[in-house]
Amino acid sequence: KSYIAQIEKVDDKIGAYLYINKEAVKQAEALDTKRKNGEKLGRLAGMPMALKDNMCTVDMPTTCASKMMQGYMSPFDAEVVKRLKGEDAIMLGKVNLDEFAMGGSTENSYYKITTNPHDISRVPGGSSGGSAASVVSHQALVALGSDTGGSIRQPASFCGAVGIKPTYGSVSRSGLVAFASSLDQIGPIARNVEDAALTLEVLIGHDAKDSTSVKFEKPSYETEIKKDIKGMKIALPREFFEQGVQSDVKESILKAAEKFEKLGAIVEDVKIKNLDYALSAYYIISSAEASSNLARFDSIQYGYRTDEYASLEELYKKSRQEGFGKEVKRRILLGTYALSSGFYDAYYKKALKVRTLIKQSYDEIFKDYDMILSPVAPTTAYKIGEKRTDPVEAYMGDIYTVPVNIAGLPALSMNCGFDKEELPVGMQLIGSTFSEDTLLRAAYNYE
Ligand code: GLN
């Protein structure tokens, strides 16, 4: 009830929710009755959560913040939603994002702007901006986000929350509306490391419905994260954030490095090869996959349909023209171009080669180090509208997050300070595949 009251009180200003679950209180009360009757409840019993609106739900619309999917009702729950409900979490509603998760500010939503709870003239980051903003403004205890190139970590950083992008293949993508299938991963955004760890533990694990889901032994983060970090080896790719980064972001990261040293970790400067090419490779690969994934919105199987058309071709064209926003169209064009014969070798194939090189570069680092410490983004939250005119400038903001998705690694984002304007600065901890426990342990000790 208190969370619903908070939504009513502050969401006019924050604009996080696209849909509120009217049954939430009733569902919580039913749980409480069960509890009073001595029935055993799940591990997330009563935890009020928000879902990024690109995760399918049977009882609430799933819009991807697109006109294309306005009012769309899925016939099934995403696997992650099933798992949360299975542990008795309460779904408060669906939250805003950049249309189809394309963007880093949540300004690309067809429906509304979400603001940063620290300063409502600024963006909350994105694309999971609604998830981060709802959690930080106490409108949800934990929210799920999805991360294709930084969309959990960057809004967590801009809003001062904890966000984890898990190892590719560890959380099922079944029921997540696909942006770039080889990069997408779902993960939690929370106010502290423990909540994030608990939620992640429920989310992870093999699912036969996702062909890229990996079978692995489920760890128990609860005990693992409380161990100390003495002797942990942290790599600091200092030269990677020497230039083009806001000075107080850099300072906060270096201070965090000192704090890790005080906690007993060993921090050393490293050079990670090939990262300069990551951003270009990411925008080729992700757009290529998006152009293919979004081909399904033909207005016939599902999605927005235009009113008037004279032929089937015109139906496709007009529906897609009217249903997709500008940024989504840009990616479809870019991806289709990169995949077209004549350009495929020059762009897409080359990007895949870069992907392999980046993966190898990380592998080399993880031979000697437990994790890498870096900024999440070159800047703190910027003003609404500031980067809307120049897409390339917006893409540059993803420089520190996209290499991680390209290599399929886990990474955690958490607050490590504030800039001169009292805006949160985030640090990123990157680990080798399936080392979420190490990242969470370092984060828990740091907190
Ligand atoms: N900002 C990046 C992009 O626009 C990342 C988005 C994401 O992770 N979903 O592609």
For ligand 1, say whether the CB of 99 is within 6 Å of any of its atoms: no
Coil vs helix vs strand at 259: helix
Distance 225 CA to ligand 1 centre (A): 29
What is the Cα–Cα distance from 158 to 153, expressed in whole angstroms?
9
Quick one: tokens of 129? 């901006």
What is the Cα–Cα distance from 5 to 36, expressed in whole angstroms?
24
The answer to whether residues 206 and 343 touch, using CB atoms and an 8 Å cutoff, is: no
User: Is the ipTM above a cut-off of 0.95?
Assistant: yes
Which domains does the chain carry?
1-447 (3.90.1300.10)
Closest alpha carbon to 370 in 431, 412, 433, 414: 431
What is the Cα–Cα distance from 427 to 249, expressed in whole angstroms?
9
Distance 146 CA to ligand 1 centre (A): 9
For the stretch 37-92, pLDDT in tens is 999 999 999 999 999 999 999 999 999 999 999 999 999 999 999 999 999 999 99
- Look at residue 115 in the predicted model and tell me its pLDDT: 98
- Look at residue 345 in the predicted model and tell me its pLDDT: 93
Task: Quote the pTM value.
Answer: 0.97
Q: Residue 17's beta-bridge partner residues?
A: 95
Quick check: is 109 catalytic?
no
DSSP string for 148-202: SSSTTHHHHHHHT-EEEEPPTTSB--TTBPPSSTTT-EEEEEESSHHHHHHHHHH
Closest alpha carbon to 243 in 211, 215, 276, 217: 276
Among left, alpha and beta (phi > 0; psi -120 to 50; other), residue 6 is: alpha
Residue of the CA atom closest to atom 4 of ligand 1 = 103
- Which listed residue (74, 146, 151, 157) is catalytic? 151
Q: Which residue has the tokens 């992907």?
A: 355
For ligand 1, say whether the CB of 128 is within 6 Å of any of its atoms: no
Quick one: tokens of 413? 């984002």
What is the Cα–Cα distance from 273 to 40, expressed in whole angstroms?
51
Tell me whether residue 189 is exposed, middle or buried, using C-beta atoms within 10 angstroms of its C-beta: 0 to 12, 13 to 18, 19 or more. Answer: buried
- Which listed residue (52, 165, 318, 387) is catalytic? 52
Answer yes or no: is pLDDT of 240 > 90. Answer: no
Chain centre distance of CA 243: 25
- Look at residue 291 in the predicted model and tell me its pLDDT: 98
Work out the angle between the directed axes of helices 278-293 and 350-368 (0-180°, nearest 10): 120
For ligand 1, say whether the CB of 175 is within 6 Å of any of its atoms: no
E-only strand ranges, 78-166: 90-95, 142-147, 162-165
Closest alpha carbon to 204 in 79, 25, 373: 79
- Look at residue 128 in the predicted model and tell me its pLDDT: 98
For the stretch 215-224, pLDDT in tens is 998 889 988 9
What is the Cα–Cα distance from 277 to 261, expressed in whole angstroms?
31
Which letter does DSSP use for residue 120 in this model?
T
Q: What percent of the chain has pLDDT over 90?
A: 95
Quick check: is 128 catalytic?
no
Q: Which atom of ligand 1 is nearest to the CA of 151?
A: 8
For ligand 1, say whether the CB of 179 is within 6 Å of any of its atoms: yes
Residue of the CA atom closest to atom 5 of ligand 1 = 149
Mean pLDDT of 321-332: 98
Q: Which residue has the tokens 């739900």?
A: 57
For the stretch 284-312, pLDDT in tens is 999 999 999 999 999 998 889 999 999 99
- Look at residue 388 in the predicted model and tell me its pLDDT: 84
- Which listed residue (66, 105, 109, 127) is catalytic? 127
User: In 326-379, which residue ranges form alpha helices assigned H by DSSP?
Assistant: 326-339, 350-368
Q: Beta strand 162-165 with 142-147: parallel, antiparallel or unpaired?
A: unpaired
What is the Cα–Cα distance from 422 to 294, expressed in whole angstroms?
39
Query: What are phi and psi for residue 287, nearest 5 degrees?
Result: -70, -40
Sequence-separated (6 or more) residues with CB below 8 Å from residue 192: 162, 447
Query: What are phi and psi for residue 422, nearest 5 degrees?
Result: 65, 25
Quick one: tokens of 43? 């591990």
**Omega prior to 66 cis, within 30 of 0:** no
- Look at residue 218 in the predicted model and tell me its pLDDT: 86
- Look at residue 262 in the predicted model and tell me its pLDDT: 98
